[in-house]
Amino acid sequence: MNERFDPSQADERWQRAWDERECFRADDASSKPRSYVLEMFPYPSGRIHIGHVRNYTMGDVLARYKRMKGFEVLHPMGWDAFGMPAENAAMEKGVHPGSWTRENIANMKAQLKRLGFALDWSRELATCDADYYGQEQALFLDLYEAGLVYRKESAVNWDPVDQTVLANEQVIDGRGWRSGALVEKRKLSQWFLKITDFAEELLDGLGTLDDWPEKVRLMQENWIGKSQGMQFAFTLSNGEKLEVYTTRPDTIFGASFVAVAADHPVAQAVAENSAEAQSFVETCRAGGTTAAELETAEKLGFDTGLTARHPFTGEDLPVYIANFVLMDYGTGAIMAVPGHDQRDFDFAAKYGLPILRVVAASAEDAGKPFEGEAEAGDGICVNSDFIDGMSVAEAKAAVIARAEREGWGEGKTQYRLRDWGVSRQRYWGTPIPFIHCDGCGVVPVPKEQLPVELPEDVDFSTPGNPLLRHATWKHVDCPKCGKPATRETDTLDTFVDSSWYFLRFASQPDDKPFDREEIARWLPVEQYIGGIEHAILHLLYARFWTRALKRIGKLDVAEPFASLFTQGMVTHETYRRAGTNEPAAMDGEGDFDSDNEPASKWLSPEEVEKRADGVFEKATGLPVEVGRVVKMSKSKKNVVDPDQIVATYGADAIRWFMLSDSPPERDLPWSEAGIEGCGRFVQRLWRIFSQFDAAAQGEDKALDRKRDQTVAAVAVDIEALSFNKAVARIYELASAIEKAEPSASRSAAIRALLLVVAPMMPHLAEEAWATIGRGLVADAAWPQVDAALLVEDEVTIAVQVKGKLRDTLTVAKGTAKEELEALALASDKVQRALDGAEVKKVIVVPDRLVNLVA
């Protein structure tokens, strides 16, 4: 063996060997137990960033480990290839989104290969392939036939300059993020998926996802937002009915006014006859949408002059248009109970409306005044006629029962979850396979005509969706009547693409989206790994698609991802020239720089030099302030390039760094010193492997034990994704081997060390295995352990006096209580600590400790 391990030639050689042997190709016909390991596929932005490296390294270690354990592993990779950045590039650089995307894919694939990931590239897919999106169109039509797809008018953020719809996060202070134009609310006919049909199922399903982070399940639960209450109708003074929804029917006797949203038909009707009302409604609509504005937003209302008759008291309650009532939740109208709801309280205080107490701690407190705020808590009902004295829960049931009996209201369950709008007025996405015909209406494209392919010749020189103004593409004959008609020019939200890619990985026939039997063999994904930023949308949509496809008989799985792991970010120190303050816009989230604070004040790690007397800018020698450790981002220049790290230290070193030290769910601080340490450890292992001697004789029982304990512990740690702990174990075994004298045991330990390191540092492992083992280590089995060796025969026991450690004893495992007690009392240190005091009580935990209580 050479003196040093040289990744610059070894890495590529082994990567080629794995490719040529198709080591990581998953065999659909295999009789082995199966394991589907999946990481969230990347958007092809052009370059892999360090977060990808962390994500994919974790999955790779697990996939390689599972292979060694005898599983048939499916570990695929693909590209979430549709989306806006490609169109932005087209507008800025004049490149076609397709060629831009494919070039990026090629670059990133090469980068992934250089990291040595054990991926089945034969199943690679890009969502912009017509093969893929054509099948997606077929699924979309299936869902349409099943009634799970519909069209409705919906308000969107419309950028009048760019002629496009903006997502909420693209609207900054009411202006388009790109054009800076004031964004308008526009009503467009949009496609929707009926995710609300699955609200209850998706909520229930969370209960089965034991191996998902509690945090993610909670976020989804909140997002679905189930609430139970009562919907009922007030009769208005104009004779109309006004439906309201409340979760607190128990407080109905405390209702002192009624409020409707600005967009509510009642408000609209009032506005038609009143300029004042009209202007108030417009103020509400213009109301800011940013978090800060909402927080400080004053409760505002407009008295319509109408009244609503209270169903029990017959009292006439004033009806207001209120800015805090939302049209798209419940019925867009509420009964307001100021005493027991803070918003209603604020409103009532402002407009001098009665604040009534109908819930109190006890009957004696029925007259207790409010102390400046609403009381939303539990208690018993007071001042409430027939429900007086009931608990809140009892009263809810009683009021609902009475309303239902009398026929003016009913118990109702509400969800915060809304249907999923999937229309995007863009080019670079999956065309929605429908045709608009003047005679026949909206007609699905016949399946045999799929895929509806995107036209290649598109023009991005003017704003707006190029599909809309394409000369020929949208003009087709109606499939039903044959008359001239037009294609739908909207494309699908890219979250649709990522809602089923894990199915297509497992099965990709030419003639249908996937084969049901093959899916049943691979799914659910055993371990899914990705960023927490997808906790809600992607993961909820994927769960929804899976359930929807199951409902229409395409699938047999309910939940796509059995176990989910959300990894932390990779962070780095920030550097900036001394004296340049952090701009206001950088506070909080803002990833953009404000106008008066140039981005150039941030320095990249390469631009600074760390010396004993501080940190300085290399070019100028000026002092540098070391800022907070934050997520790597281009704007703060605290990024490192994975390619450069690989070029300098090799793939195994960066992989090892990704796994070391920090628990995988937490943030990982990148440091130059850290990666250097990893590079040194690669060489240290190489030296250890070089010392393997098949002919060595002799037994080293302690090392044998350490070896098998390490193998067993690393297996447990990898399965729990506790890579940092596995890494620590490996360091320990490496040290033990270095300290040991040559022996057959030592050689066996070296061999075992190589094998447990192999999933983490596959290139180094292959290079060493070439002389130590047979074949490729990628095909080797995880080492067997001798269960008898795992158990220590000697244990060190703590001896405490009054709970304080005074001595330790090394004894045979299983030593009797009485003997331990005697040994403890015989200790000089113990006697000194006792100082003649009488031992009143002795606690002995066998193999652990003796505690003498004086």
Of 70-129, binders to RNA (CB under 7 A) are none
Q: Which is nearer to RNA, 30 or 808 (CB)?
A: 808
Q: Is there a contact between 194 and 424 (Cβ–Cβ < 8 Å)?
A: no
Q: Check residue 185 for interaction with RNA (CB under 7 A).
A: no
Alpha helices in 498-564 (DSSP H): 501-506, 516-522, 537-551
Q: Nearest approach, Cβ of 588 to RNA (angstroms)? A: 8
The residue among 483, 455, 482 whose CA lies nearest residue 469 is 455
Q: Is there a contact between 73 and 490 (Cβ–Cβ < 8 Å)?
A: no
Of 302-331, binders to RNA (CB under 7 A) are 323-327, 329-331
Question: For RNA, how many residues bind (rule: CB under 7 A)?
Answer: 81
d(CA 439, CA 83): 33
- Nearest 5°: phi and psi at 434? -135, 160
Q: What is the DSSP letter of 780?
A: P
Q: Where are the beta strands (DSSP E) in 428-479?
A: 434-437, 441-444, 475-477
Q: Nearest approach, Cβ of 745 to RNA (angstroms)? A: 18
Q: Nearest approach, Cβ of 213 to RNA (angstroms)? A: 9
CA-based angle 305:307:312, to the nearest 5?
165
Q: Nearest approach, Cβ of 575 to RNA (angstroms)? A: 16
Q: What is the DSSP letter of 41?
A: P
Coil vs helix vs strand at 828: helix
Dig out the tokens for 153 from the structure: 């008018």
Dig out the tokens for 811 from the structure: 């004894």
Peptide bond into 669 cis (omega under 30): no
Q: Which is nearer to RNA, 93 or 739 (CB)?
A: 739
* The binder of RNA chosen from 109, 178, 416, 577 (CB under 7 A): 416
* The binder of RNA chosen from 15, 662, 709, 747 (CB under 7 A): 662
* The binder of RNA chosen from 127, 246, 498, 747 (CB under 7 A): 246
Q: Check residue 769 for interaction with RNA (CB under 7 A).
A: no
Q: Check residue 245 for interaction with RNA (CB under 7 A).
A: yes
Name the pairing type of β-strands 570-577 and 668-669. parallel
Site string for RNA, 588-627 (x = CB under 7 A): ----------------------------------------
Q: Is there a contact between 745 and 791 (Cβ–Cβ < 8 Å)?
A: no
d(CA 542, CA 371): 47
The residue among 211, 79, 148 whose CA lies nearest residue 546 is 148
Q: Check residue 287 for interaction with RNA (CB under 7 A).
A: yes
CA-based angle 413:415:421, to the nearest 5?
140
d(CA 707, CA 801): 35
Q: Which is nearer to RNA, 481 or 853 (CB)?
A: 853
Q: Nearest approach, Cβ of 293 to RNA (angstroms)? A: 8
Which window, 68-76, 87-95, 752-760, 839-847, contacts RNA (CB under 7 A)?
Answer: 839-847
Q: Is there a contact between 421 and 194 (Cβ–Cβ < 8 Å)?
A: no
Alpha helices in 146-274 (DSSP H): 199-206, 214-224, 265-272
Q: Which is nearer to RNA, 160 or 287 (CB)?
A: 287
Q: Which is nearer to RNA, 136 or 652 (CB)?
A: 652
Q: Nearest approach, Cβ of 205 to RNA (angstroms)? A: 19
Q: Which is nearer to RNA, 101 or 660 (CB)?
A: 660
* The binder of RNA chosen from 299, 426, 547, 705 (CB under 7 A): 299
Of 803-822, binders to RNA (CB under 7 A) are 803-806, 808
Of 333-392, binders to RNA (CB under 7 A) are 334, 341, 343
* The binder of RNA chosen from 131, 316, 556, 738 (CB under 7 A): 738
Alpha helices in 310-420 (DSSP H): 342-351, 392-406
Of 678-737, binders to RNA (CB under 7 A) are 680-681, 683-684, 722, 724-725, 727-728, 731-732, 735
Q: Nearest approach, Cβ of 289 to RNA (angstroms)? A: 8
CA distances from 482 to 110, 467, 841 (A): 48, 22, 97
Q: Check residue 263 for interaction with RNA (CB under 7 A).
A: no
Sign of the CA dihedral running 52, 58, 61, 63: negative
* The binder of RNA chosen from 414, 423, 489, 747 (CB under 7 A): 414
Give the other-Cβ count within 10 Å of 376's Cβ.
14
Q: Nearest approach, Cβ of 398 to RNA (angstroms)? A: 17
Q: What is the DSSP letter of 612?
A: T
Q: Nearest approach, Cβ of 187 to RNA (angstroms)? A: 19
Site string for RNA, 621-660 (x = CB under 7 A): ---------------------------------------x
* The binder of RNA chosen from 421, 524, 669, 742 (CB under 7 A): 669
The residue among 101, 85, 143 whose CA lies nearest residue 551 is 143
Q: Check residue 332 for interaction with RNA (CB under 7 A).
A: yes
* The binder of RNA chosen from 88, 235, 247, 274 (CB under 7 A): 247
Of 265-284, binders to RNA (CB under 7 A) are none
Which window, 81-89, 125-133, 198-206, 243-251, contacts RNA (CB under 7 A)?
Answer: 243-251
Q: Nearest approach, Cβ of 680 to RNA (angstroms)? A: 4
The residue among 592, 618, 593, 591 whose CA lies nearest residue 605 is 618
* The binder of RNA chosen from 495, 663, 719, 785 (CB under 7 A): 663
Alpha helices in 190-290 (DSSP H): 199-206, 214-224, 265-272, 275-286
Q: Is there a contact between 714 and 754 (Cβ–Cβ < 8 Å)?
A: no
Site string for RNA, 516-545 (x = CB under 7 A): ----------------x---x---------
Give the rounded distance of the alpha carbon of 234 from its chain centre: 43
* The binder of RNA chosen from 167, 182, 294, 599 (CB under 7 A): 294
Dig out the tokens for 501 from the structure: 């890619």
Q: Is 698 exposed, middle or buried (0-12, 13-18, 19+ CB in 10 A)?
A: exposed
Of 210-239, binders to RNA (CB under 7 A) are 214-215, 218-219, 222, 225, 227, 229
Q: Which is nearer to RNA, 99 or 808 (CB)?
A: 808
Q: Nearest approach, Cβ of 295 to RNA (angstroms)? A: 5
Q: Nearest approach, Cβ of 288 to RNA (angstroms)? A: 9
Q: Check residue 835 for interaction with RNA (CB under 7 A).
A: no
Of 786-805, binders to RNA (CB under 7 A) are 796, 798, 800, 802-805
599's CB contacts (< 8 A; 6+ apart) are 593, 635, 637
* The binder of RNA chosen from 12, 597, 641, 661 (CB under 7 A): 661
d(CA 646, CA 660): 17
